[in-house]
Amino acid sequence: MAEASFAHAAEALRQNDRDRYLSTLVLSGAHRDAVTALYAFNADVASIRERVSDPAPGEIRLQWWSDALEGEGHGAVRQNPVADALLDTIGRYTIPAGTLLRLIGARRFDLYDDPMPDLETFEGYAGETVSTLYQLAAMILNEGETIETGDAAGHLGVAHAMIGHIRAFGHVSAQGRIMLPWSIFAANGVREGEIFSGTESEGLSEALGQIGDLAAEHLGKAETAIAALPARLKPAFASIAVLQAQLALLGQRPGIFAPAADDPDWRKIARLAWWSWRNR
């Protein structure tokens, strides 16, 4: 079943998290299958909020994944092809289940409408939900041996989360949610009502600009840290090429709440391939 499960995981990732799917195309063989399984699991967990009507069924789905990782009901769990591929990956590469359980725990925040309170909390959330994925992808490329990627995974994860949430700002705010640090908005005189009603203001523009500057700073630090890593690990961080372009494209957005401009897939693939070739 494993081969079919990995194929299913790849298709699920292609459908539900296209940018991460494209980032796996610079990998090869078993490493690509394993990273794809990890990312497909993340895509399922990250999309739970969008698929449920209220937090209760979301909590049930998160608990299902927690039980799967803790070894409860594995026979039935493996009927889920994404879970089957993930469990094979965990076994082959000795992925620590506790790391994935912390990711699940952090995703509980997504189910509720509490605003992200401050930068420190956001960075912690990004660390558990995004930096973790970069760290584990590097571990897979290192054949399951633990390796310290330090600032590379940490900074790139925070930048990735910031850029993603700036790009999705209109969509998320329309749901009555604030996923970027509220303290930065408050410091610029922004009120919750402005965000939820889609009202543009100088303060809101300034706040998002400041968050964009923070994202750029994290990207710069990540780039420096990635350059110092062994060549075999660098493909795990190829997404930086797409993120740099997406941050630059934010300047072309016609309004704060408008959908963000993005490159077509072929250009993203070209960026990923060129970056990977330059960083061999």
Q: What is the DSSP letter of 129?
A: I
Q: Which helix (H) or strand (E) holds 133?
A: helix 132-141
Token pair, residue 140, equals: 């897979």
Backbone angles phi, psi at 95, to 5 degrees: -65, 130
* Three-state SS at 50: helix
Alpha carbon separation from 15 to 9, 36, 44, 162, 185 (Å, rounded): 10, 12, 11, 22, 33
CA angle 65–66–69, rounded 5-degree value = 85
Q: What is the pLDDT along the chain (280 residues), one digit of tens a residue?
A: 578 999 999 999 999 999 999 999 999 989 999 999 999 999 999 999 999 989 999 999 999 999 999 986 556 788 899 999 999 999 999 999 999 999 999 999 999 999 999 999 999 999 999 999 999 999 999 999 988 887 999 999 999 999 999 999 999 999 999 999 999 999 999 999 999 999 999 999 999 999 999 999 999 999 999 999 999 999 999 999 999 999 999 988 889 999 999 999 999 999 999 999 999 8
Q: Say which residue the tokens 């990782």 belong to.
A: 69
Task: List, in order of start, the domains of the chain with CATH numbers.
Answer: 1-112 (no CATH), 115-279 (1.10.600.10)
